[in-house]
Structure 1
């Protein structure tokens, strides 16, 4: 074999290896209210109640970076798989790791190992809680009563073991609640909404797939609110679900927690991947009580 032929084969082999590695990385990913209405979930859930939230990228709020497809609609990603079943209002589930075993190691994300969400297909009935993990790695999420219809259950977590260790993931599955389902119309897009006597106003014009700022202002009786309490290591938590397919998005808070309370204005890093209507759920705490405000935001293409 000539030296030229050997060099050529080595070059082709190197190129093929690089291409295979690129495909593998692409496959693994790299960046990435209870009741029947569209209002907030019960707000009077104080410490220890059904509350709190999931994983994303290590930004100013200290969140871990989310891997691969970030819409939360897949039951399996990067070798991790969600399996669960709904019985009455209890959802029991497991996460299986790349080794085929039930995952029992997690890294806390905003003080919790697991953030769990439930929302009906019409984007009503939002619930956000922290399930309990058994010694065998199985999780139990005790939900408030679910109205009839199709629901989607999301598990947001950071694996503490396996090839995805340290990387935030959001996996989901659907679950049906028996009974006569009656769809709740999605409220029209609006700049403000009210909850528990507070008014929440959102300012910003995000475009699909583009990162941009979103500002939230909290007032009460026309006066600015400045006594927001830390909640999940920040002053507010903002989650969004896309109308139609229920794609999941978390908007990263950028306002740091400082002594003396927060508000009235909070900044978020918004990156919503799809155009159309998104239902936003803002959770904030005052006087030890968690409030959940909801409004519809239209995102331009």
Structure 2
């Protein structure tokens, strides 16, 4: 699958941008919504990040009147172009595919300089911790992990709201700026909007490339997404 994104003007940090995504099959045919299988309540998940792997966005484009064209918007906070991965499952096989493209900017992006391995983050007064079942994550070997969220006084936080039929999403970007991983908690889909989750969620991490990975945990609290960043080192 081929993807491209165009905007009316180059990206500018701090300025909202409206963008159009074009999806095509290898033969040039447009990819229609009916060609895609819904996953976690959406047919297309856009995983967007800058070159320093610090400003992450998870967007869901909507179809326009033009076949194969989808619109979305976001507000970059960093200079330079952003890379976007289109996470889709096309019919008939339903295999997960990532089509990658760049959103251009007139400025130069920042390099990846912070490769610190970190398993704890604090966001909006809540503490997030990624707990691994083993010391080392290796390429091609499933690794069990838990995401634990606590309040400032150390109590478990149990008010996670459903976000795309689950209580959290983990998305990681490798230092090669090409490889992405997208994971969800174990268990059945969360379909009741009144359901609440926490303080711990279990995941399985499966890495395809060695090196540093910036991992983001996305949860929803009081109707708003929160993103907690972690740093992992994947062994060969």
DSSP 3-state at the match of 1:149: coil
1:265 is aligned to: 200
Distance 1:216 1:290 in 2: 16
TM-score, structure 2 as length reference: 0.84
- Are 2:172 and 1:240 equivalent residues in the alignment? yes
Partners of 1:218 and 1:263 within 8 A in 2 = yes
Q: Deviations along 1:234-273, whole A, 9 cap, x unmatched?
A: 1100000001334111123214448852111110011011
In structure 2, relative to structure 1, the CA distance for the partners of 1:198 and 1:169 (3 Å cut) is: same
Partners of 1:118 and 1:152 within 8 A in 2 = yes
Number of matched pairs:
219
- Are 2:59 and 1:129 equivalent residues in the alignment? yes
Match of 2:5 among 74, 79, 84: 84
Distance 1:165 1:135 in 2: 26
Partners of 2:5 and 2:102 within 8 A in 1 = no
Distance 2:147 2:110 in 1: 32
- Greater fraction helix: 1
Partners of 1:235 and 1:255 within 8 A in 2 = no
1:274 is aligned to: 209
Larger Rg: 1
Q: Deviations along 1:176-195, whole A, 9 cap, x unmatched?
A: 31125444632511121111
Distance 1:284 1:187 in 2: 23
**Unmatched segments (≥5 aa) in structure 2:** 10-16
Higher relative contact order (CA 8 A, sep 6+): 1
Report the Cα offset of residue 223 of structure 1. Answer: 0.9
Distance 1:282 1:86 in 2: 28
DSSP 3-state at the match of 1:147: coil
- Are 2:47 and 1:117 equivalent residues in the alignment? yes
Report the Cα offset of residue 276 of structure 1. Answer: 1.8
TM-score, structure 1 as length reference: 0.67
Q: Deviations along 1:268-295, whole A, 9 cap, x unmatched?
A: 0110112221101111122222211111
Match of 1:220 among 146, 151, 170: 151
2:14 is aligned to: none
Distance 1:234 1:120 in 2: 26
For residues 45-124 of structure 1, the aligned pairs below 5 Å read 80-88=1-9, 89-104=17-32, 105=34, 106-124=36-54
Partners of 1:107 and 1:113 within 8 A in 2 = yes
**Unmatched segments (≥5 aa) in structure 1:** 1-79
